[in-house]
Amino acid sequence: MNIDHAKYFLMLSNTQHIQKAAHLLGISSTAISHGVAKLEEELNVKLTAKSGRNIILTEKGIEFARRIQPILEQLEKVREGLGGEVLTSGLYKMAVTHNLFPFIQNKKIFETIQERADISLELQAKRSAEVVSMVADGSVDFGFCLSPMDHPSLERKLVHRGKLILCARKQHPVFKIRLHDSRIKLMNETDAIGIKASFGIENCESHPSFKKLKLSPNFRFVVDTYDLKLAILKQVNTWALIPDFYLEENKSWLQEIDLGDFTSTYTIEAIWNKNRSPLRLYKLVLDSVIESFRN
């Protein structure tokens, strides 16, 4: 049984209103409905019924609430006794910015899951904006994002800070030019690839260094993932701003465009909903990811 789902049900039994329960828990009403539905499916009983805009408990629901409340209270005491972290059973959901997982993975994550027969992990690859939104509304338990923006419902921890680098394929004519101003002129005249801006992710193409260098990108291509950037870069003479780890992985055909004083950074951050109880699995995964970057 998923402990969070039981908590959702108890809050719903207290408020008898899905939106109120969701507001108090800091998650979406959809997450409440989904959690209660999963409980009913697992228990094979109907726990709630609608009464106008409110939710009332069935007889089975009243009995379940009565029995589960002391169990959850005892679990909370155990959590406090262990320093506020409990590795509970059930399905955990983790979302990661597209293409980021190969760079944050660590075998300890998978070993932790395999060591516990009562735990399973669902992984989803999304845009950073989607990861932020899903963690905020409770659709997933935690996530790892490339340069996420702030959200009032989220806690975040820096995992890694790196450089954004101007790159093009090695055949690009810009590498035949040595003079700085001439390189800038050519880049302004040729096509560039931009990242589609959206809520939840910083638009790294709007960087102050562009103005400083008098660089005005002509974004003929706009994409929503870095793998699409790389696919275009490899085929035609365009240029783009990409995280340094992509350059390291594609050095056989990709090259940095050196403009001297150009500086830009990105972050990889762990995010989780600050309104939900901390779970030890979050910390185990986070520690594994941080360790993989240190090595």
Three-state DSSP class for residue 13: helix
- The per-residue pLDDT string of the chain (295 residues; one tens digit each, 9 = 90 and over) reads 778 788 888 888 888 888 888 777 767 788 888 888 888 888 898 988 887 777 888 889 899 888 888 887 777 666 655 555 555 667 788 899 887 877 776 666 777 777 777 778 888 988 888 898 888 888 888 889 888 888 888 888 898 888 989 999 999 999 999 898 999 999 999 999 988 754 333 444 456 677 788 888 888 998 888 889 999 999 999 999 999 989 988 999 999 999 887 778 889 998 988 776 656 777 777 777 777 666 6
- CA max distance for the chain: 80
Q: Mapping DSSP to helix (H, G, I), strand (E, B) and coil, where does residue 181 land? A: helix
**186: Cα within 13 Å, side-chain hemisphere:** 18
- Residue 41, token pair as written in the block: 């499916």
d(CA 105, CA 289): 6
At residue 168, the pLDDT reads 96
pLDDT score for 257: 94
In this structure, the strands spanning 265-273 and 142-146 are: antiparallel
Residues 139-161: b if buried by 16+ CB within 10 A, e if exposed? bbbbbbbbbbeebebbbbeebbe
Buried b / exposed e over 212-251, threshold 16 CB at 10 Å, is: ebebebeeebebbbbebbbebbeeeebbbbbbebbbeebe
Q: Which part of the chain is CATH 3.40.190.10?
A: 92-152+269-294, 161-267
- Cα distance between residue 113 and residue 179, in whole Å: 54
Residue 138 CB neighbour total at 10 angstroms: 25
Predicted local distance difference test score (pLDDT) of residue 199: 38
Superfamily covering domain 92-152+269-294: Periplasmic binding protein-like II (3.40.190.10)
At the topology level of CATH, where does 161-267 sit? D-Maltodextrin-Binding Protein; domain 2 (3.40.190)
Q: Are strands 218-223 and 90-97 parallel, antiparallel or unpaired?
A: unpaired
Instruction: Give the CA dihedral 70, 74, 75, 78, nearest 10 degrees.
Output: 180
The H-assigned helical ranges of the chain are: 3-15, 18-25, 29-43, 59-81, 101-104, 107-115, 128-137, 180-189, 208-213, 226-235, 244-249, 280-294
Spatial distance between the Cα atoms of 86 and 280, rounded to a whole number of angstroms = 5
Pick the CATH number of 3-81 from 2.60.40.10, 3.30.70.1230, 1.10.10.10, 3.50.50.60: 1.10.10.10
Q: What is the pTM of this model?
A: 0.64
Contact status, residue 190 vs residue 162, Cβ threshold 8 Å: no
